[in-house]
Amino acid sequence: MKRPIAVFDSGLGGLTVVAQLRRALPNDWFVYFGDTARVPYGCKSADTVKRFAIQAVEFLLQFEPKTIVAACNTASAMALETLQEVVDVPVVGVIEPGAKAAVQAANQRCIAVIGTEATINSQAYHRAIWQIDPQARIVAKACPLLVSMVEEGRQPTDAVVEMVVKEYLQGLKEHEPGVLLMGCTHYPLLREAFGKVMGPEVTLIDSACHTAKKVVEVSGEANTEKNAEGGTVRCYVSDNAERFATLGARFLNEPLGYVSYVPLDALIADPGGALGVMANAKEDPRHVGRGHWG
Ligand code: DGL
Protein backbone atom coordinates (compact mmCIF):
# COMPACT_ATOMS: atom_id res chain seq x y z
CA MET A 1 0.00 0.00 0.00
CA LYS A 2 1.22 3.54 -0.78
CA ARG A 3 2.22 5.76 2.13
CA PRO A 4 -0.67 7.90 3.34
CA ILE A 5 -0.86 11.58 4.21
CA ALA A 6 -1.47 11.89 7.95
CA VAL A 7 -3.58 14.72 9.32
CA PHE A 8 -4.31 15.68 12.91
CA ASP A 9 -6.60 18.13 14.63
CA SER A 10 -8.09 18.75 18.05
CA GLY A 11 -11.31 17.14 16.84
CA LEU A 12 -13.65 17.39 13.89
CA GLY A 13 -12.56 20.65 12.31
CA GLY A 14 -9.51 19.28 10.50
CA LEU A 15 -11.85 17.38 8.21
CA THR A 16 -12.35 20.68 6.34
CA VAL A 17 -8.63 20.47 5.53
CA VAL A 18 -8.96 16.80 4.52
CA ALA A 19 -11.82 17.74 2.17
CA GLN A 20 -9.46 20.15 0.36
CA LEU A 21 -6.58 17.66 0.39
CA ARG A 22 -8.72 14.99 -1.24
CA ARG A 23 -9.66 17.39 -4.02
CA ALA A 24 -6.00 18.27 -4.58
CA LEU A 25 -4.70 14.69 -4.23
CA PRO A 26 -7.51 12.38 -5.39
CA ASN A 27 -5.33 9.28 -5.63
CA ASP A 28 -3.81 9.56 -2.16
CA TRP A 29 -5.26 8.09 1.00
CA PHE A 30 -5.43 9.78 4.37
CA VAL A 31 -5.17 8.82 7.99
CA TYR A 32 -6.66 11.29 10.46
CA PHE A 33 -6.37 11.68 14.20
CA GLY A 34 -8.95 13.85 16.00
CA ASP A 35 -8.30 14.42 19.68
CA THR A 36 -11.99 14.52 20.59
CA ALA A 37 -11.27 13.64 24.23
CA ARG A 38 -9.29 16.85 24.74
CA VAL A 39 -10.91 19.32 22.32
CA PRO A 40 -10.94 22.35 22.38
CA TYR A 41 -7.26 23.27 22.07
CA GLY A 42 -8.18 26.90 21.42
CA CYS A 43 -8.26 27.90 25.09
CA LYS A 44 -5.26 25.85 26.24
CA SER A 45 -1.68 26.86 26.97
CA ALA A 46 1.13 26.49 24.46
CA ASP A 47 2.85 23.77 26.51
CA THR A 48 -0.29 21.67 26.67
CA VAL A 49 -1.07 22.03 22.97
CA LYS A 50 2.55 21.12 22.12
CA ARG A 51 2.34 17.99 24.25
CA PHE A 52 -0.95 16.94 22.67
CA ALA A 53 0.37 17.61 19.16
CA ILE A 54 3.46 15.48 19.79
CA GLN A 55 1.28 12.63 21.04
CA ALA A 56 -0.94 12.88 17.95
CA VAL A 57 2.07 12.76 15.66
CA GLU A 58 3.62 9.85 17.54
CA PHE A 59 0.40 7.95 17.01
CA LEU A 60 0.28 8.79 13.31
CA LEU A 61 3.88 7.81 12.64
CA GLN A 62 2.95 4.13 12.87
CA PHE A 63 1.25 4.52 9.47
CA GLU A 64 4.55 5.64 7.93
CA PRO A 65 3.03 8.75 6.36
CA LYS A 66 4.86 10.60 3.61
CA THR A 67 3.65 13.96 4.96
CA ILE A 68 2.01 15.07 8.20
CA VAL A 69 -0.47 17.94 8.22
CA ALA A 70 -1.24 19.93 11.37
CA ALA A 71 -4.77 20.85 10.28
CA CYS A 72 -5.54 22.57 13.56
CA ASN A 73 -4.72 26.28 13.48
CA THR A 74 -4.10 26.33 17.21
CA ALA A 75 -1.69 23.37 17.03
CA SER A 76 0.01 24.87 13.97
CA ALA A 77 0.41 28.18 15.79
CA MET A 78 1.91 26.60 18.89
CA ALA A 79 3.58 23.35 17.95
CA LEU A 80 4.63 23.37 14.30
CA GLU A 81 8.26 24.34 14.86
CA THR A 82 8.67 21.76 17.61
CA LEU A 83 7.16 19.05 15.42
CA GLN A 84 9.35 19.96 12.47
CA GLU A 85 12.40 19.67 14.73
CA VAL A 86 11.56 16.25 16.12
CA VAL A 87 9.97 14.43 13.18
CA ASP A 88 11.80 13.20 10.07
CA VAL A 89 8.74 13.35 7.83
CA PRO A 90 7.76 16.80 6.45
CA VAL A 91 5.18 18.50 8.69
CA VAL A 92 2.95 21.14 7.09
CA GLY A 93 0.85 23.61 9.10
CA VAL A 94 -2.03 25.84 8.06
CA ILE A 95 -0.67 29.21 9.22
CA GLU A 96 1.96 29.96 6.59
CA PRO A 97 -0.15 28.97 3.54
CA GLY A 98 -3.07 31.05 4.88
CA ALA A 99 -0.83 34.03 5.59
CA LYS A 100 0.69 33.89 2.12
CA ALA A 101 -2.73 33.82 0.43
CA ALA A 102 -3.95 36.68 2.63
CA VAL A 103 -0.98 38.93 1.76
CA GLN A 104 -1.49 38.29 -1.94
CA ALA A 105 -5.23 38.94 -1.86
CA ALA A 106 -4.94 41.99 0.43
CA ASN A 107 -2.75 43.81 -2.07
CA GLN A 108 -1.51 46.32 0.57
CA ARG A 109 -4.90 46.67 2.25
CA CYS A 110 -5.42 45.78 5.90
CA ILE A 111 -5.61 42.05 6.79
CA ALA A 112 -8.22 40.92 9.32
CA VAL A 113 -7.50 37.63 11.09
CA ILE A 114 -9.93 35.60 13.18
CA GLY A 115 -9.23 32.41 15.14
CA THR A 116 -9.32 30.80 18.54
CA GLU A 117 -8.11 32.67 21.59
CA ALA A 118 -4.83 30.70 21.59
CA THR A 119 -4.15 31.26 17.89
CA ILE A 120 -4.80 34.99 18.08
CA ASN A 121 -2.86 35.46 21.32
CA SER A 122 0.12 33.54 19.91
CA GLN A 123 0.36 36.12 17.08
CA ALA A 124 1.48 33.29 14.80
CA TYR A 125 -0.49 34.72 11.86
CA HIS A 126 1.01 38.17 12.54
CA ARG A 127 4.53 36.74 12.38
CA ALA A 128 3.83 34.73 9.23
CA ILE A 129 2.27 37.75 7.50
CA TRP A 130 5.06 40.13 8.51
CA GLN A 131 7.63 37.62 7.31
CA ILE A 132 6.17 38.09 3.81
CA ASP A 133 5.23 41.76 4.07
CA PRO A 134 6.79 43.61 7.02
CA GLN A 135 4.58 46.64 6.29
CA ALA A 136 1.29 44.72 6.40
CA ARG A 137 -1.45 46.20 8.57
CA ILE A 138 -3.18 43.51 10.61
CA VAL A 139 -6.24 43.52 12.87
CA ALA A 140 -7.14 40.35 14.73
CA LYS A 141 -9.96 39.04 16.85
CA ALA A 142 -10.49 35.83 18.81
CA CYS A 143 -13.96 34.39 18.20
CA PRO A 144 -14.25 31.60 20.78
CA LEU A 145 -18.02 31.06 20.52
CA LEU A 146 -17.97 30.09 16.87
CA VAL A 147 -16.46 26.61 17.22
CA SER A 148 -19.22 25.34 19.49
CA MET A 149 -21.92 26.88 17.32
CA VAL A 150 -20.61 25.05 14.26
CA GLU A 151 -20.38 21.77 16.19
CA GLU A 152 -23.95 22.28 17.35
CA GLY A 153 -24.94 22.20 13.69
CA ARG A 154 -25.94 25.85 13.48
CA GLN A 155 -26.00 27.18 9.94
CA PRO A 156 -24.52 30.51 8.76
CA THR A 157 -28.06 31.83 8.34
CA ASP A 158 -29.04 30.99 11.93
CA ALA A 159 -30.09 34.14 13.81
CA VAL A 160 -27.76 33.45 16.75
CA VAL A 161 -24.79 32.86 14.43
CA GLU A 162 -25.52 36.07 12.55
CA MET A 163 -25.72 38.03 15.79
CA VAL A 164 -22.48 36.61 17.23
CA VAL A 165 -20.57 36.98 13.97
CA LYS A 166 -21.68 40.60 13.71
CA GLU A 167 -20.58 41.25 17.28
CA TYR A 168 -17.12 39.77 16.62
CA LEU A 169 -16.50 41.29 13.19
CA GLN A 170 -17.93 44.77 13.59
CA GLY A 171 -14.74 46.15 15.14
CA LEU A 172 -12.57 44.60 12.40
CA LYS A 173 -14.72 46.06 9.68
CA GLU A 174 -14.00 49.58 10.89
CA HIS A 175 -10.38 49.10 9.74
CA GLU A 176 -11.65 48.50 6.17
CA PRO A 177 -9.73 45.28 5.62
CA GLY A 178 -9.24 43.85 2.12
CA VAL A 179 -9.33 40.27 3.38
CA LEU A 180 -10.68 38.23 6.24
CA LEU A 181 -8.41 35.30 7.06
CA MET A 182 -10.49 32.47 8.53
CA GLY A 183 -7.82 31.13 10.90
CA CYS A 184 -9.72 28.22 12.40
CA THR A 185 -10.75 24.85 11.00
CA HIS A 186 -14.45 25.41 11.69
CA TYR A 187 -14.85 28.83 10.14
CA PRO A 188 -15.23 27.85 6.46
CA LEU A 189 -18.60 26.42 7.48
CA LEU A 190 -19.69 29.95 8.46
CA ARG A 191 -18.28 31.61 5.35
CA GLU A 192 -21.67 32.97 4.31
CA ALA A 193 -22.22 34.71 7.66
CA PHE A 194 -18.76 36.33 7.48
CA GLY A 195 -19.41 37.50 3.92
CA LYS A 196 -22.68 39.07 4.93
CA VAL A 197 -21.08 41.20 7.66
CA MET A 198 -17.85 42.06 5.84
CA GLY A 199 -19.43 42.80 2.47
CA PRO A 200 -18.47 41.75 -1.07
CA GLU A 201 -15.31 43.88 -1.21
CA VAL A 202 -13.63 41.73 1.46
CA THR A 203 -12.03 38.47 0.23
CA LEU A 204 -12.46 35.51 2.55
CA ILE A 205 -9.33 33.37 2.86
CA ASP A 206 -9.66 29.71 3.77
CA SER A 207 -6.30 28.44 5.06
CA ALA A 208 -7.38 24.87 4.22
CA CYS A 209 -7.37 25.42 0.42
CA HIS A 210 -3.91 26.94 0.48
CA THR A 211 -2.59 24.27 2.83
CA ALA A 212 -3.68 21.63 0.33
CA LYS A 213 -1.58 23.34 -2.36
CA LYS A 214 1.41 23.39 -0.02
CA VAL A 215 0.96 19.68 0.76
CA VAL A 216 0.99 18.90 -2.96
CA GLU A 217 4.32 20.74 -3.26
CA VAL A 218 5.84 19.07 -0.20
CA SER A 219 4.60 15.54 -0.89
CA GLY A 220 6.52 15.53 -4.13
CA GLU A 221 5.18 12.83 -6.37
CA ALA A 222 1.41 12.77 -6.14
CA ASN A 223 -0.03 9.31 -6.73
CA THR A 224 -1.11 9.39 -10.31
CA GLU A 225 -2.51 5.89 -10.68
CA LYS A 226 -6.08 5.22 -9.69
CA ASN A 227 -6.17 2.73 -6.81
CA ALA A 228 -8.60 1.36 -4.27
CA GLU A 229 -7.28 3.49 -1.41
CA GLY A 230 -7.34 6.76 -3.40
CA GLY A 231 -9.38 9.40 -1.59
CA THR A 232 -10.18 7.20 1.38
CA VAL A 233 -9.96 8.56 4.91
CA ARG A 234 -9.28 6.40 7.93
CA CYS A 235 -10.12 8.30 11.13
CA TYR A 236 -9.03 7.65 14.69
CA VAL A 237 -10.49 9.65 17.56
CA SER A 238 -9.74 9.74 21.28
CA ASP A 239 -13.42 9.85 22.28
CA ASN A 240 -16.94 9.30 20.99
CA ALA A 241 -16.42 7.80 17.56
CA GLU A 242 -20.17 7.80 16.90
CA ARG A 243 -20.51 11.56 17.38
CA PHE A 244 -17.46 12.14 15.20
CA ALA A 245 -18.87 9.93 12.43
CA THR A 246 -22.23 11.71 12.54
CA LEU A 247 -20.99 15.30 12.69
CA GLY A 248 -17.90 14.71 10.55
CA ALA A 249 -19.88 14.28 7.36
CA ARG A 250 -20.71 17.99 7.38
CA PHE A 251 -17.04 18.95 7.65
CA LEU A 252 -15.82 16.43 5.06
CA ASN A 253 -18.77 17.05 2.78
CA GLU A 254 -19.62 13.37 2.61
CA PRO A 255 -20.12 10.39 4.93
CA LEU A 256 -17.11 9.02 6.78
CA GLY A 257 -16.27 5.43 5.94
CA TYR A 258 -14.04 4.46 8.83
CA VAL A 259 -13.91 5.92 12.33
CA SER A 260 -12.19 4.13 15.16
CA TYR A 261 -11.77 4.88 18.83
CA VAL A 262 -8.21 5.10 20.21
CA PRO A 263 -8.06 5.05 24.00
CA LEU A 264 -6.27 8.14 25.23
CA ASP A 265 -4.61 6.09 27.97
CA ALA A 266 -2.90 3.98 25.34
CA LEU A 267 -1.83 7.07 23.45
CA ILE A 268 -0.28 8.63 26.53
CA ALA A 269 1.08 5.50 28.17
CA ASP A 270 2.70 4.22 25.03
CA PRO A 271 3.54 7.16 22.85
CA GLY A 272 4.65 5.95 19.49
CA GLY A 273 4.01 2.39 20.60
CA ALA A 274 2.26 2.12 17.34
CA LEU A 275 1.17 -1.46 17.17
CA GLY A 276 -0.38 -1.58 20.62
CA VAL A 277 -2.64 1.38 19.94
CA MET A 278 -3.51 0.08 16.51
CA ALA A 279 -4.58 -3.30 17.87
CA ASN A 280 -6.78 -1.67 20.54
CA ALA A 281 -8.36 0.60 18.00
CA LYS A 282 -9.30 -2.19 15.64
CA GLU A 283 -10.87 -4.37 18.28
CA ASP A 284 -12.71 -1.68 20.16
CA PRO A 285 -16.47 -2.37 20.11
CA ARG A 286 -17.17 1.35 19.75
CA HIS A 287 -15.57 1.26 16.34
CA VAL A 288 -18.15 2.37 13.79
CA GLY A 289 -18.31 2.23 10.00
CA ARG A 290 -15.70 -0.27 8.92
CA GLY A 291 -15.79 0.88 5.31
CA HIS A 292 -13.71 -1.31 3.07
CA TRP A 293 -11.00 -1.87 5.64
CA GLY A 294 -13.24 -4.29 7.54
N1 DGL B 1 -9.17 23.09 15.42
C2 DGL B 1 -9.11 24.30 16.19
C3 DGL B 1 -8.37 25.37 15.36
O4 DGL B 1 -8.35 25.35 14.15
C5 DGL B 1 -10.47 24.77 16.64
C6 DGL B 1 -11.09 23.92 17.73
C7 DGL B 1 -10.29 23.96 19.03
O8 DGL B 1 -10.30 25.00 19.72
O9 DGL B 1 -9.68 22.95 19.35
O10 DGL B 1 -7.82 26.28 15.94
Q: How far is the CA of 227 from the centre of ligand 1 (A)?
A: 32
Residues 219 and 278 in one domain: yes
Domain boundary among 207, 236, 252: 207
Q: How far is the CA of 39 from the centre of ligand 1 (A)?
A: 8
Residues 74 and 215 in one domain: yes
Q: What are the phi and psi torsion angles at 93 (to 5°)? A: -110, 175
**Mean pLDDT taken over the chain:** 90
* Mutation to probe ligand 1, out of 20, 35, 72 (largest number of atoms < 8 A from CB): 72
The length of the chain in residues reads 294
Query: What DSSP state is assigned to residue 288?
Result: B
Rounded to the nearest 10°, the torsion over CA 258, 263, 267, 272 is -50
CA distances in angstroms from 142 to 34, 120, 174, 186, listed in the order given: 22, 6, 16, 13
What proportion of the chain, given as a percentage, has pLDDT over 90? 84
| Amino acid (1-letter code) at residue 50 | K
CA-closest candidate to residue 262, choices 242, 246, 278: 278
Residue 233: which CATH number?
3.40.50.1860
What is the spatial distance between Cα 237 and Cα 10, in angstroms, rounded to a whole number? 9
Pocket of ligand 1 (CB under 6 A): 9-10, 13, 39-42, 72-74, 116, 119, 147, 184-186
Q: Are 113 and 83 in contact (CB under 8 A)?
A: no
Domain boundary among 180, 207, 234: 207
Q: 221 lies in which domain range?
A: 5-93+211-290
What is the spatial distance between Cα 287 and Cα 282, in angstroms, rounded to a whole number? 7
Is residue 184 annotated as part of the catalytic site, yes or no? yes
Smallest CA separation from ligand 1 atom 8, residue: 42
| Amino acid (1-letter code) at residue 280 | N
**pLDDT one-digit tens code per residue, 257-278:** 899 999 988 777 654 444 333 3
**pLDDT one-digit tens code per residue, 17-63:** 999 999 999 999 999 999 999 999 999 999 999 999 999 999 999 99
Residues 130 and 221 in one domain: no
Using CB atoms within 10 A of its CB, is residue 192 exposed (0-12), middle (13-18) or buried (19+)? Answer: middle
Q: How far is the CA of 72 from the centre of ligand 1 (A)?
A: 6
Atom of ligand 1 nearest to the CA of 13: 1
What is the pLDDT, as a whole number, of residue 2?
Answer: 87
Give the count of alpha carbons within 13 A of 263, CB side only: 13
Atom of ligand 1 nearest to the CA of 40: 9
Atom of ligand 1 nearest to the CA of 42: 8
What is the pLDDT, as a whole number, of residue 276?
Answer: 37
**pLDDT one-digit tens code per residue, 70-83:** 999 999 999 999 99
Give the count of alpha carbons within 13 A of 115, CB side only: 33
* Mutation to probe ligand 1, out of 52, 94, 120, 184 (largest number of atoms < 8 A from CB): 184
Residues 218 and 279 in one domain: yes
What is the pLDDT, as a whole number, of residue 224?
Answer: 66
**pLDDT one-digit tens code per residue, 81-126:** 999 999 999 999 999 999 999 999 999 999 999 999 999 999 999 9
* Confidence grade of residue 228 (pLDDT, cut at 50, 70, 90): confident
What is the spatial distance between Cα 257 and Cα 293, in angstroms, rounded to a whole number? 9
Q: How far is the CA of 75 from the centre of ligand 1 (A)?
A: 8
Query: What DSSP state is assigned to residue 239?
Result: S
* Mutation to probe ligand 1, out of 36, 114, 186, 244 (largest number of atoms < 8 A from CB): 186
Looking at the DSSP assignment, which residues form a beta bridge with residue 6?
31, 68
Domain boundary among 207, 229, 257: 207
Residues 155 and 255 in one domain: no
Active-site residue (options: 143, 184, 209, 235):
184
What is the pLDDT, as a whole number, of residue 257?
Answer: 87
